[in-house]
């Protein structure tokens, strides 16, 4: 007669569809009970509502347990409910339908000022009358709490959801506010996917005109998961003007294209230096190099933001320059960049869709909560964009 340990060992051979880890490694097996010599009950708690995933798991579990004489398996699968489609999305999946527009802020690499740009554009949009939120999805280096002056504040939990903070007229939630300070994250695949989805679904976001999402640098699991989970109205790219930085930006802009995300524009950050003593502007990393890149990708340069000590001080001190120094050159440029962005968002608001990038593995969806199946060609497009197994599940 098989023991619970035997059953567990067999279950550790069952790979979660679309991934490389087993259901035991993911922690999806919540309970095992032996009902008779050849019968057991297994409770699984999985992250996908797709029927194909459950069916594949049922089949694989019976197969492995049969080999140790357990022929009668009562499998109970707990999975998330498929969401109802309500918002402006034309088609596809949307796990935060109360939010009208999603703006993905990306950069090809770290340290170029992506979070600084997110904060200042979001506050500028709120100052221009929009209902705005910031989701800090930079799970590896969440800096938004410090920049928004909410570092160390305790998250208020209502029911089983977390309430965003409110700072400078903007609703804010960050992974940094949800984990212990200094905790570093070495996350891949399914964990990133789950974290991004929870930041959208389990935070009490109100009805918002725009949610700005500060992404981790690069083009990986987080970007793909976000694009699959909500219809992204547009992506913006933040870069510095050096040619080496522009090469990285191309990857980020290519990613937008592969994920069918309209490109809202490029922000050239650290573009020239404004001396706080004499107010003259001089080039350090170069200036104006993004224009050509913008033309290449058929988009616009939203603004050239100089290196200005007030921007760094505002970031470190939780006093964003656009709010605290509205008379500064940088604040004016953030305001203008935001006007351009808002025009783009308004023009593209009703066109956002993500049906074409929903995950599929020959009909077996590993991470969709919509259960939508995409065509073979869509799957191939996704494989190019994810660099993964081609399912779009986020694995590499
Ligand atoms: N235009 C600017 N002038 C002066 N300082 C700036 C400017 N832009 C950003 N900084 C400073 O540069 C540092 C890095 O900026 P930020 O954290 O926004 O970059 P990031 O691209 O989000 O980095 P990461 O993705 O690695 O978290 C911060 O100290 C910020 O205050």
C-alpha 234/C-alpha 347 separation (Å) is 11
Write down the pLDDT at residue 81: 54
C-alpha 239 – ligand 1 centre gap (Å): 11
Is the same domain home to 61 and 118?
A: no
| Mean pLDDT to the nearest integer, 316-345 | 95
Domain boundaries, position 234: 99-351
pLDDT for 120 beyond 50: yes
More confident residue, 44 or 280: 44
116 and 70 within one domain: no
Q: Is 396 in the pocket of ligand 1 (CB under 6 A)?
A: no
* Cα within 13 Å of Cα(192), Cβ side: 24
| pLDDT of 114 over the 60 cut | yes
Residues 6+ apart with CB under 8 A from 59: none
| Crossing angle between the packed helical segments 221-229 and 189-201, to the nearest 10 degrees | 40
Contact between residue 299 and residue 263 where contact means Cβ atoms under 8 Å apart: yes
Same domain, yes or no, for 51 and 122? no
Please indicate, yes or no, whether residues 254 and 338 belong to a single structural domain of this protein.
yes
In tens, the pLDDT along 167-195 reads: 999 999 998 888 766 555 555 667 778 88
pLDDT given for residue 270 in this prediction: 94
Kindly give the number of the ligand 1 atom that is closest to the alpha carbon of 314: 31
Does residue 138's CB lie within 6 angstroms of at least one atom of ligand 1?
yes
| pLDDT at residue 395, as a whole number | 34
Q: Is residue 193 part of a domain?
A: yes
Q: What is the 114 CA–ligand 1 centroid distance (Å)?
A: 6
pLDDT above 90 covers a percentage of the chain that reads 53
Higher model confidence: residue 386 or residue 100? 100
Q: CATH code at 182?
A: 3.40.50.300
Measure 287 CA to ligand 1 centroid, in angstroms: 17
Ramachandran angles phi, psi of 275, nearest 5°: -70, 125
When mean pLDDT is compared across 57-66, 87-96, 236-245, 325-334, the lowest value belongs to 87-96
- Is 175 domain-assigned? yes
Give the SS3 label for residue 212: strand
Domain identity same for 126 and 53: no
Q: Do 241 and 317 reside in the same domain of the chain?
A: yes
Looking at per-residue pLDDT, the higher value among 363 and 267 belongs to: 267
Residue 234 CB contacts under 8 Å (≥ 6 apart), including other chains: 103, 104, 261, 262, 263, 264, 341, 344, 345, 348
Q: Which of 115, 123, 204 is nearest to 167 (CA)?
A: 123
Whether 19 has a pLDDT exceeding 90, the answer reads no
- Is residue 154 assigned to a domain? yes
Same domain, 212 and 255: yes
Same domain, 207 and 340: yes
**Does 27 score more than 90 pLDDT?**
no
10 Å CB burial of residue 243 (0-12, 13-18, 19+) is exposed
CATH of the domain at 60: 3.30.300.130
Pair (105, 73) in one structural domain: no
Is pLDDT above 70 for 334? Answer: yes
Q: Out of 113, 115, 141, give the residue to mutate to test ligand 1, the one with the largest number of ligand atoms within 8 Å of its CB.
A: 113
pLDDT above 90: residue 33: yes
Residue 362 inside a domain? The answer is no
Same structural domain, 210 and 130: yes
For the Cβ of 69 lying below 6 angstroms from any atom of ligand 1, the answer is: no
Residue 363 located in a structural domain = no
* Phi, psi (degrees; rounded to nearest 5) at 279: 70, 10
- Reported confidence tier of residue 4, pLDDT bands at 50, 70, 90: very high
* Confidence at residue 180, expressed as pLDDT on a 0 to 100 scale: 66
Give helix then strand counts, H and E, for the chain.
Answer: 13, 14
- Ligand 1 in contact with 116 (CB < 6 A)? yes
Two tokens, residue 173: 């939630």
Residue 386, in any domain of the structure: no
**pLDDT above 80: residue 224:** yes
317 touches ligand 1 (CB under 6 Å): no
Average pLDDT over residues 270-292: 85
| Assigned domain for 391 exists | no
Assigned domain for 253 exists: yes
* Residue with CA nearest ligand 1 atom 15: 113
**Average pLDDT score, the chain:** 83
In this structure, the answer to whether residues 183 and 289 fall within a common structural domain is: yes
Q: Based on the structure, what is the number of domains in the chain?
A: 2
Mean pLDDT in residue range 70-87? 71
Choose one of 14, 43, 78: the last residue of a domain: 78
Do residue 139 and residue 38 come from a single domain?
Answer: no
């Amino acid at each position: 007669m098989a023991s619970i340990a035997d059953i567990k060992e067999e279950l550790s051979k069952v790979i979660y569809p679309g991934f490389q880890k087993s259901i035991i490694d993911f922690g999806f097996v919540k309970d095992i009970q032996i009902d008779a010599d050849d019968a057991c009950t297994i409770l699984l708690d999985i992250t996908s509502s797709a029927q194909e995933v459950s069916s594949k798991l049922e089949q694989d579990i019976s197969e492995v347990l049969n080999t140790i004489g357990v022929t009668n398996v009562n499998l109970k699968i707990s999975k998330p409910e498929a969401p109802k489609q309500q918002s402006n999305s034309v088609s596809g999946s949307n796990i935060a339908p109360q939010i009208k527009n999603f703006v993905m802020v990306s950069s090809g690499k770290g340290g170029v000022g992506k979070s600084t740009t997110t904060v200042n554009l979001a506050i500028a949009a709120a100052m221009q009358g929009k209902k705005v939120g910031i989701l800090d999805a930079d799970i590896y280096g969440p800096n938004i709490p410090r920049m928004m002056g909410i570092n160390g504040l305790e998250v208020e939990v209502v029911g089983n959801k977390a309430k965003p903070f409110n700072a400078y007229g903007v609703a804010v939630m960050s992974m940094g506010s949800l984990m212990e300070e200094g905790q570093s994250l070495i996350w891949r695949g399914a964990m990133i996917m789950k974290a991004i989805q929870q930041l959208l679904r389990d935070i009490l976001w109100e009805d918002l005109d725009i949610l700005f999402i500060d992404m981790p640098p690069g083009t990986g699991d987080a970007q793909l998961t976000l694009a699959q989970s909500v219809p992204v109205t547009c992506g913006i790219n933040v870069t510095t003007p050096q040619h080496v930085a522009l090469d990285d930006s191309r990857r980020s802009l290519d990613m937008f294209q592969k994920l069918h995300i309209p490109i809202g524009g490029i922000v050239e950050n650290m573009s020239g230096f404004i001396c706080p003593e004499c107010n003259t502007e001089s080039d350090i990393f170069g200036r104006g190099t993004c224009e050509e890149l913008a033309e290449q990708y058929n988009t616009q340069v939203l603004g050239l933001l100089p290196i200005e000590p007030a921007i760094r001080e505002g970031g470190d001190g939780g006093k964003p320059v656009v709010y605290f120094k509205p008379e500064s050159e940088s604040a004016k440029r953030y305001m203008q960049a935001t006007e351009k962005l808002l025009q783009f968002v308004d023009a593209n608001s009703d066109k956002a869709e993500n049906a074409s990038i929903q995950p599929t593995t020959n009909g077996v969806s590993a991470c969709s909560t919509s259960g939508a199946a995409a065509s073979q060609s869509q799957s191939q497009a996704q494989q190019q964009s994810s660099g993964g197994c081609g399912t779009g599940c986020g694995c590499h």
